Amino acid sequence: MRSDVEYSPVGEGLGMRDFWLYVWMRRAAVIAAHVTGLGLTLVICILSRPGTSLFSWHPVCMSVAYCLCMTEGILLFSAEGSPFCFKSRKGKVRLHWFCQALVLIAAATGLGFMVASKNVSERPHLVSWHSVLGMCTLAATGLQAACGLFVMFPKLLRLSSSVPPRLKLYHATCGLVVYLLATVTVVLAMFSDWFQATVRGVAWWAFLLLPLFPALVVMNQITNAYLPRKKITS
């Protein structure tokens, strides 16, 4: 008795015209997600005015970590609209690891600046939903990186040299959870006193919605790549 899981290619069952329209829409969405992640990072860096205070480096580091590096680290596996589509699977995995290493470094640096700023101003820690969920996101990011080590080096789990498909599925699923946690944390940052004093009116609503678009693209990419179509039992 053996049970396997088949994964369905996107666009199955569509006519040729609808299929190509679907492909171009997905490609446009991925490109827009790249632009949104980069643009959001640049704007937050400008609004933060890095160097004016210890706190000013916190949004810079965190936006670079999650809005830019984590987004690019996931989207580079997309077959549509990725600037690294010419890379081999092995090359993409290396770039993914490089991006995730940058996420850990930038996030840890941002946390350090936030702790230092709170200590200098003698303000309490973890008093907002943004800070609490942010700590959960940082912990989940570290755990996900550790899981990635087992995917990269399966012998650490005393497995064979090949990575079991389900281990990749679990890693991708947990990665999606971490990315969604990061997205909610970024959205909650829009409700902070600093951000509401910096951005007002229609612009604030635009910033509130911007992080959601890359999250939808990432969710669509991972579910299309790993969502089971049917089980075959023989």
Q: Enumerate the β-bridge partners of residue 215.
A: none
Under 8 Å between Cβ of 55 and 8: no
State how far the Cα of 41 lies from the Cα of 174, in Å rounded to an integer. Answer: 24
> pLDDT tens string for the chain (234 positions)?
344 444 445 555 556 766 667 678 888 889 999 999 999 999 999 999 999 999 999 999 999 999 999 999 999 988 776 666 667 888 888 999 999 999 999 999 999 999 999 999 989 999 999 999 999 999 999 999 988 888 887 776 665 555 667 778 888 999 999 999 999 999 999 999 999 999 999 999 999 999 999 999 999 999 888 765 544 343
Under 8 Å between Cβ of 118 and 131: no
State how far the Cα of 97 lies from the Cα of 217, in Å rounded to an integer. Answer: 20
Under 8 Å between Cβ of 159 and 149: no
- The predicted structure's pLDDT at residue 104: 96
> What fold is seen in the domain 15-224?
Four Helix Bundle (Hemerythrin (Met), subunit A) (1.20.120)
Query: What element of type H or E holds 230?
Result: strand 228-233
Q: 218: helix, coil or strand?
A: helix
Q: Pick the closest to residue 110 from 41, 34, 207 (CA basis).
A: 41
Residue 127: exposed, middle, or buried by beta-carbon count in 10 A (0-12, 13-18, 19+)? exposed
